[in-house]
Amino acid sequence: MIGDNKELMAEIGRIAEVAGYLWTKGWAERNGGNISVNVTDLMTEQEKALPALGAPYPLLAPMTALCGHIFYVTGTGKRMRYVAQDPFAHGSVIRIAVDGTSFDIIAEQPIPSTSELPSHLMMHNYLRSCGRDNKVVLHTHPTDLIGFTHCQPFLDSEKITRVLWSMIPECRIIVPKGIGIVPYEIPGTLDLALATIKQLEKHDVVFWEKHGILAVGEDIIECFDAIDTLSKSAQIFFAARMAGYEPEGMTDQQLDDLVLAFGL
Ligand code: 13P
Ligand code: ZN
């Protein structure tokens, strides 16, 4: 039934497109990474009221800003390369309960949601409660960016932001709020979720130490582009290092000129 909803299916198509990029980029080994997209505005009233496909799943904390909201969420253990081919066989549409304390899977198949759902929903909840029109949380495992998080001096928001911004002007423009850092936490935990939402006060992209990257935004293509641009900067940095020299990086003045030129 939801397959007849053209707007929803177009958004699901964009999710599949990005899932394919994550795989071809080499950022999605096995089941690495996960995606959630708020599709509430794309659903008809009838679709929003679809019956649950099984028992409700309790949430670790109440999502008071998400009551009744509907998300497409990739499934736990599912591979991005297959999400790209068939998003409804490797993810599901979930509806947060009216009291925000649980969720139901409502379409198309009862595929259990990603283990990172606590972080994803807490991020959606936090951003909505701040009035930010956030629809997307994208988590992935880019080799080059994770590499930086294995080096203590780079586990510093200002330092890593400055290095990556200064590799190429686009990085300053496309990731204007820089990078937040979350020290290592066990994947899928509430502690990881809580540490992550703290970083969203200032940033739209967060690095999880020795694990991966998260981007939030209004549009899944833009979330992908932000991570892709950071990855490009990381590759320039490492390529220079491998060639045996320290990359000079853009100067403070050159970076500041971009702020003026692009109204950042
Ligand atoms: P899931 O398969 O549960 O989405 O986990 C993948 C992952 O990247 C965990 O951080
Ligand atoms: Zn991960």
- List pLDDT tens digits, range 217-246: 999 999 999 999 999 999 999 999 999 999
Q: How far apart are CA 26 and CA 211, in angstroms?
A: 14
- Measured from the Cβ of residue 172, the count of other Cβ atoms closer than 10 Å reads 26
Ligand 2 geometric centre to CA of 170 (Å): 26
- Summarised one tens digit per residue, pLDDT across range 195-225 is 999 999 999 999 999 999 999 999 999 999 9
The DSSP 8-state label assigned to residue 78 in this structure reads: -
Tokens of 112: 């259990």
What pLDDT score was predicted for residue 1?
76
Say whether 106 sits in a helix, a strand or coil: strand
Q: How many CB atoms lie within 10 A of CB 84?
A: 20
Q: Does 77 contact ligand 1 (Cβ within 6 A)?
A: yes
Pocket of ligand 1 contains residue 196 by CB under 6 Å: no
Residues contacting 64, CB < 8 A, separation 6+:
100, 125, 129
Nearest CA to ligand 1 atom 1: 76
- The arithmetic mean of pLDDT across residues 35-62, rounded, is 97
214 CA → ligand 2 middle, Å: 9
pTM metric for this prediction: 0.98
Q: How many CB atoms lie within 10 A of CB 6?
A: 9
Cβ contact 77:89 at 8 Å:
no
